[in-house]
Amino acid sequence: MTTLPNFRSPDVLLDHARHTMRFYHPRAIDPQGGMYHYFKDDGAVYDATHRHLVSSTRFVFTYAMAYRHFQDPAYLEGLKHAVRFVREAHRAPDGDGYAWMLDGSKIEDGTQHAYGEAFVLLAYSHATMAGVEEARPWIGEAFELMERRFWSEADGLYADEASQDWSVLSTYRGQNANMHSVEALLAAHQATGEARYLERAYTVAYNITQRQAGRCGGLIWEHYDQAWQPDWKFNIDDPENLFRPWGYQPGHFTEWAKLLLLLEARAEGVLQKDLGWLLPTAERLFKVAVEQGWDSEHGGLCYSLAPSLEICDWHKYFWVQAESAAAAAMLAERTGNAYYWEWYDRIWAYSWTHMVDHQHGAWYRILDRENRKLSDEKSPAGKVDYHTMGAVYDIVAVLPKA
């Protein structure tokens, strides 16, 4: 039987982050600009030209966090290289939007996504916190773009998608873009100290996890119509859609739990608002995720739950395990309840045994129910192990307090 390391040791976790980062650095850096986005298990690049806004911005995050934790100048250079590509290749010349997908230097899909714009805001915020001062004014610029183009004061939430020229705003509404907006807004507040970002994060979090959840049995459904009423059929025939899967998402429940705890910690003594709902909501979401979503036979948290809360997609995704481990550690530290440490240890033991590639580095993206890989594509567009390294940094931040 494999001997497991001590997952409550910051040194063990940071060594794991270094190991993961070595999978991407320096092979991810494209000397012609930006980063390569498509990697096989052994690190081979299998598409050298395609670029996705989500990967481009998440590379900014991973390099910024690696530089802040390990102080390797090569990570700072990688960070600047990644930021430059977001700014010069994805950003529209007039600043009014960011291309979703590029083929080389050409726009392949210019659709405007709030999800993507949220990651732009996150990228600039983390670049700034890592010392790239030129990115500081871009934080406000990115926020104001989201406010102007996607924010609805009447709904108290962001819309989701628009055409490249902004002439058509989709009627689809989703929680995922709003969840990542909260993440980005918290980072913007951390980088700047400006209360407007925290205020907006609070509003979005409350409206998704309280008002919208109230329309969905107290839990967070993914998809809504233009009036923010739940759309129970959206993508029912495409349950594995990368950004808009059907079903309740245990991984999003635990990701929200993490964000609500971060919001509570940042807002204490800063916002004159009721914070009493944050911890109970985080605890409820986490418990439903792990108690309904855990595969008791093969281990791991499944991808999706039907409205009945029965598992409807048994696949094991890397990010679901990583975000859930981070949420467990943060809840354990916040509450002192051993229940959360037990889940933390269980999730890490599963992930270390099945998801982590100890030979080449990084995590496998997706396994079937019996924990077999579905392909040799470790990191297609959108992955870059932002979730796994980000979870490590979130955990390390609370371990000394615990």
Write out the catalytic residue numbers. 252, 387
Measure the CA–CA gap between 122 and 187, rounded to whole angstroms: 6
- What is the helix (H) or strand (E) element at residue 398, kind and residue range? helix 386-398
The helix/strand/coil state of 201 is: helix
Count of Cβ atoms closer than 10 Å to residue 174 Cβ: 24
CA-wise closest residue to 355 among 381, 383, 395: 383
Buried b (16+ CB within 10 A) or exposed e, 55-79: bbbbbbbbbbbbbbbeeeeebbebb
Phi/psi for 211 (5° steps) reads -65, -55
Contact (CB, 8 A) for 102 and 108: yes
Tokens 């995704």 -> residue: 317
Contact (CB, 8 A) for 101 and 116: no
